[in-house]
């Protein structure tokens, strides 16, 4: 749906598909849209040389090289598909858990946990004689029972192999109860946390990604959601227990204890099951849906923060309404939404009750972005959960992007664009798809969060607002994905169905490829016929040897302005180097690439006359001519007398040429290369990288040799 029709407080402005129609929506760019035509003259721009069309033979060489790179990337991409499996062992894939009931006695005075977990499920194999359950080795198992019978079990590391009393047939149900106790140890991002404030216990769990078995036995697989989970938690009676779902009751016990019974009847992954125990002050509010249904908002905050939290959390209902208008109704509306303060560590989107670090509770709404981020996770993470952790950007990228949507709701398009600009922190390591999920820093990196958000922003740019928001809504509400699990390909498929476009080019490069395009460009303009011709040369400098990647393919908006005229058009940049010519009936004195920031990129304008005079720092020019056949010339600038190490690498990162210059004076110097390796053998056609180092810094560029 289109969010502008549904958000009543402040209309979200219709966004911008990167096409010429876009110019009509923005007054600043429509002073006078004149007829503009565009020609792509040649595949390769001859940087620092005269532009000239390439011969057909040269064009086919370039295409051949790109094809080779594409094959290389496809092979890498195919290898990653195998990681779409769930993280469980083969034995764990033989049953499906339907229900957990946790009976836990929490003793903060002893930092001890004691209790039992009932697991009900269904066999997916015939015969199934063993169940494999996750529980950390330090937690002692006292007994495992099935219908009153004690079961034999063996422990191996953090797994428990349980022998059932009789083999199960496919589809047959089982019910076992594990009695255990121990002092849960820290794991992952904390798992089970004990803390004390002025002697009062403040206890909370944070199981993402793999910490649930640190404190309760389960099949710890995000793709095996239980249909419902009940928690009966016994704690000292001066403390409040907060958890998922609906509070079914509080039972007083002798000895100054009481038991809180929380029940959730929505599907839930093990890492989202949680409890928090503290001297909480409680307050509540209501969310009223567009359909008129009321749902309680329940808050649990440390008493010293009560007034601050009452102010900060006052926006939550409006926030839910804003997101519901875009993503579809709040997914757990029959239960609740709430937040519970925690004294340290990460904030976490526990299903129906987020835990929020106290640093976000200030009374000044400075933590609204964290509130929005965790709330958005109720759709993206909790209701629709990654099948496995390599796809965690489906949680974090979406939640980070949703904060931008909240900014847009509050402050309009300018606020949204400002937010997107701010979260482009410049350097994103690795790909969105996380291959090593044991590396928590990679799993929860700024790449996953902020590049992930940018990928959604770029998708919005590519699809335009109405298709983008329709796809987002369809993704969040599709049965099987909602209340279930997804991988990136599910999201891609929905975007393709909704838009009617093949988007594999977009997803493959932005999810599985590292880095971002770095565009180097220069432009010139002059009279041509009855009007003016502007030539724009763009080359992509993201082709580092160690990255070994294809150039990015993206639509780029180009703004041309001058003489009271202003126009915006879209080019598709997809090659190592490309030249575009624009014909206008006005003389442009301004050319801007991607003025509205739709593309995650770096831009570098090549200045004329850059390689003359005294260099202030080490400089390296693009070779010319490029591509070349016989010899090519490279200029370098030394800010001090030095020798320069010259190395040339092929596309696979192999060093094919090395040379050390004699000592040179301060100033610009010239190096000519004949396309031969260090031993004097002619090298084959291809893209090569040349690296020049002066002992203080080293610079790398690429060149194209065509035989």
Residues in 636-655 at the binding interface with Zn ion, rule: CB under 5 A: none
Nearer to Zn ion, 312 or 396 (CB): 396
CB of 452 to Zn ion, least distance (A): 10
Site map 42..81 versus Zn ion, x via CB under 5 A: ----------------------------------------
Describe the strand order of the beta sheet including 590-593 as a list of residue ranges.
565-573, 554-562, 590-593
Q: How far is the CB of 315 from Zn ion (least distance, A)?
A: 18
C-alpha torsion sign, points 321, 206, 80, 442: positive
Question: Which of these ranges, 296-304, 325-333, 399-407, 532-540, lies near Zn ion under the rule CB under 5 A?
Answer: 399-407
Q: How far is the CB of 400 from Zn ion (least distance, A)?
A: 7
Contact region for Zn ion (CB under 5 A) — 87-95, 390-398, 649-657, 674-682? 390-398
Shortest approach of Zn ion to residue 43 CB, angstroms?
Answer: 42
Q: Which is nearer to Zn ion, 341 or 557 (CB)?
A: 341
CB of 422 to Zn ion, least distance (A): 17
What is the distance, to the nearest Å, from the Cα of residue 670 to the centroid of all Cα atoms in its chain?
44
Q: Which residues make beta-bridge pairs with 66?
A: none
The closest alpha carbon to 551, from 65, 118, 218, belongs to 65
Q: Give 399 or 568: the residue with its C-beta nearer to Zn ion.
A: 399
Q: Which is nearer to Zn ion, 62 or 399 (CB)?
A: 399
Place of tokens 């190395």: 647
Between 229 and 399, CB nearer to Zn ion: 399
| CB of residue 382 to Zn ion, shortest distance in Å | 11
Sketch the per residue contact string, 585 through 604, with Zn ion: x for CB under 5 A, - otherwise. --------------------
Stretch that binds Zn ion, among 242-250, 398-406, 562-570, 592-600 (CB under 5 A): 398-406
Judged by beta carbon, residue 180 or residue 419, the one nearer Zn ion is 419
> Least distance (Å) from Zn ion to the CB of residue 396?
5
Nearer to Zn ion, 176 or 322 (CB): 322
In this structure, the strands spanning 294-301 and 337-342 are: parallel
Q: For Zn ion, which stretch binds (CB under 5 A), given 262-270, 396-404, 414-422, 464-472?
A: 396-404
Q: Which is nearer to Zn ion, 340 or 648 (CB)?
A: 340
- 356: contact with Zn ion by CB under 5 A: no
Q: In this chain, which stretch among 216-224, 394-402, 409-417, 473-481 interacts with Zn ion, using CB under 5 A? A: 394-402
CA separation for the pair 170, 402 (Å, rounded): 42
- Sign of the CA dihedral running 417, 423, 426, 429: negative
Nearer to Zn ion, 102 or 394 (CB): 394
399 binds Zn ion, rule: CB under 5 A:
yes
Query: Under a CB-based contact definition with an 8 Å cutoff, are residues 99 and 226 in contact?
Result: yes
**Minimum Å distance from CB 327 to Zn ion?**
15
User: Residue 396 or 537: which CB sits closer to Zn ion?
Assistant: 396
Q: Which is nearer to Zn ion, 134 or 396 (CB)?
A: 396
3-state secondary structure labels for all residues of 208-275: CCCCHHHCCCECCCCCCCECEEEEEEEEECCCEEEECCEEEEEEEECCCEEEEEEEECCCECHHHCCE
Least distance CB 377 / Zn ion (angstroms): 5
CB of 399 to Zn ion, least distance (A): 4
Q: How far is CA 639 from CA 606, 642, 665, in A?
A: 19, 9, 9
Which C-beta is closer to Zn ion: that of 45 or that of 392?
A: 392
| Alpha-carbon gap, residue 701 to 703, rounded angstroms | 7
Closest residue to Zn ion, Cβ-based? 399
Number of residues that bind Zn ion (CB under 5 A): 2
Give CA 374 to chain center in angstroms: 15
Only segment of 203-211, 278-286, 392-400, 671-679 that touches Zn ion (CB under 5 A): 392-400
Phi-psi region at 53: left, alpha or beta (left = phi > 0; alpha = psi -120 to 50): beta
Torsion-angle region of 290 (φ positive above 0: left; ψ -120 to 50: alpha; else: beta): alpha
Query: Can residue 448 be called a binding residue for Zn ion (CB under 5 A)?
Result: no
Dig out the tokens for 218 from the structure. Answer: 């389960």
Question: In 3-state terms, what secondary structure has residue 130?
Answer: strand
Alpha carbons 433 and 418: distance in angstroms, whole number:
26
Q: Report, in Å, the least distance between residue 386 CB and Zn ion.
A: 12
Residue 68 in 3-state DSSP? helix
Q: Are strands 590-593 and 554-562 parallel, antiparallel or unpaired?
A: antiparallel
Q: Dihedral, CA atoms, 443, 449, 455, 459, nearest 10 degrees?
A: 120
Whole-number minimum distance, CB 388 to Zn ion, in Å? 17
Could you count the other beta carbons within 10 Å of the beta carbon of residue 608? Answer: 9
Decide whether 204 or 506 has the Cβ nearer to Zn ion: 204
**Span near Zn ion by CB under 5 A; candidates 181-189, 238-246, 358-366, 397-405:** 397-405
CA distance 272 to 221: 11
Instruction: Report, in Å, the least distance between residue 373 CB and Zn ion.
Output: 5
The residues binding Zn ion (CB under 5 A) are 396, 399
């Amino acid at each position: 749906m289109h969010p502008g029709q549904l958000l009543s407080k402040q209309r979200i402005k219709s966004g911008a598909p990167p096409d010429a129609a876009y110019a009509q929506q923005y007054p600043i760019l429509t002073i006078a849209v004149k007829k503009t035509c565009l020609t792509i003259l040649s595949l390769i721009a001859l940087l620092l040389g005269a532009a000239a069309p390439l011969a057909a033979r040269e064009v086919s060489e370039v295409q051949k090289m790109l094809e080779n790179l594409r094959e290389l990337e496809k092979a890498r991409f195919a290898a990653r598909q195998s990681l779409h499996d769930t993280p469980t062992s083969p034995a764990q894939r033989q049953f499906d858990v339907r229900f957990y009931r946790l009976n836990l006695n929490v003793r903060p005075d002893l930092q001890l946990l004691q209790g039992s977990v009932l697991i009900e499920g269904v066999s997916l194999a015939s015969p199934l004689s063993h169940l494999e359950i996750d529980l950390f080795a330090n937690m002692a198992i006292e007994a495992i029972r099935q219908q009153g019978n004690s079961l034999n079990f063996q422990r191996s590391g953090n797994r428990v192999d349980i022998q059932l009393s009789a083999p199960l047939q496919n589809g047959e149900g089982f019910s076992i109860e594990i009695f255990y106790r121990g002092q849960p140890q820290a794991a992952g991002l904390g798992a089970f946390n004990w803390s004390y404030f002025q002697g009062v216990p403040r206890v909370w769990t944070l199981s993402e990604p793999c910490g649930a078995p640190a404190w309760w036995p389960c099949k710890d697989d995000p793709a095996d959601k239980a249909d419902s989970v009940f928690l009966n938690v016994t704690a000292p009676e001066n403390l409040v227990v907060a958890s998922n779902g609906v509070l079914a009751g509080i039972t007083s016990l002798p000895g100054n204890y009481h038991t809180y019974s929380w029940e959730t009847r929505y599907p839930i992954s093990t890492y989202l099951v949680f409890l928090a125990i503290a001297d909480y002050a409680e307050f509540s509010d209501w969310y009223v849906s567009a359909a008129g249904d009321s749902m309680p908002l329940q808050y649990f905050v440390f008493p010293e923060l009560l007034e601050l939290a009452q102010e900060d959390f006052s926006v939550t209902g409006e926030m839910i309404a804003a997101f519901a208008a875009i993503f579809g109704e709040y997914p757990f509306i029959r239960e609740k939404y709430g937040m519970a303060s925690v004294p340290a560590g990460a904030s976490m989107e526990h299903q129906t009750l987020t835990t929020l670090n106290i640093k976000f509770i200030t009374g000044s709404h400075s933590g609204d972005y964290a509130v929005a981020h965790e709330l958005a996770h109720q759709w993206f993470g909790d209701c629709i959960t990654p099948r496995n952790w390599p796809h965690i950007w489906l949680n974090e990228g979406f939640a980070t992007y949703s904060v931008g949507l909240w900014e847009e709701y509050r402050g309009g398009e300018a606020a949204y664009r400002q937010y997107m600009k701010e979260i482009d922190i410049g350097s994103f390591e690795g790909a969105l798809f996380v291959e090593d999920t044991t590396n928590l820093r990679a799993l929860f990196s700024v790449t996953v969060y902020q590049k992930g958000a940018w990928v959604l922003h770029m998708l919005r740019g590519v699809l335009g607002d109405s298709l983008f928001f329709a796809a987002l809504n369809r993704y969040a509400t599709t049965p099987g994905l909602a209340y279930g699990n997804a991988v990136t390909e599910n999201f891609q498929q929905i975007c393709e169905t909704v838009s009617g476009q093949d988007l594999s080019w977009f997803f493959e490069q932005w999810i599985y490829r590292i880095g971002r395009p770095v565009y180097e460009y220069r432009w010139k303009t002059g009279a041509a016929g009855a009007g003016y011709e502007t030539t724009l040369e763009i080359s992509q400098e993201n082709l580092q040897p160690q990255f070994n990647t294809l150039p990015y393919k993206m639509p780029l908006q180009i703004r041309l302005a001058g003489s009271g005229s202003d126009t915006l058009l879209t080019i598709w940049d997809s090659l190592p180097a490309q030249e575009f010519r624009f014909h206008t009936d006005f003389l442009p004195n301004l050319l801007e690439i991607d003025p509205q920031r739709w593309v995650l990129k770096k831009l570098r304008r090549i200045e004329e006359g850059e390689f003359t005079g005294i260099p202030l720092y080490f400089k390296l020019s693009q070779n010319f001519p490029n591509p070349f056949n016989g010899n090519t010339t490279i200029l370098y600038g030394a800010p001090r007398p030095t020798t320069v190490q010259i190395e040339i690498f092929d596309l696979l990162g192999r060093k094919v040429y090395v040379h050390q210059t004699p000592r040179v004076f301060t100033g610009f110097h010239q190096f000519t290369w004949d396309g031969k390796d260090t031993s004097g053998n002619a090298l084959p056609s291809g893209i090569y990288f040349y690296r020049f180092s002066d002992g203080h810094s080293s610079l790398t560029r690429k060149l194209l040799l065509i035989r």
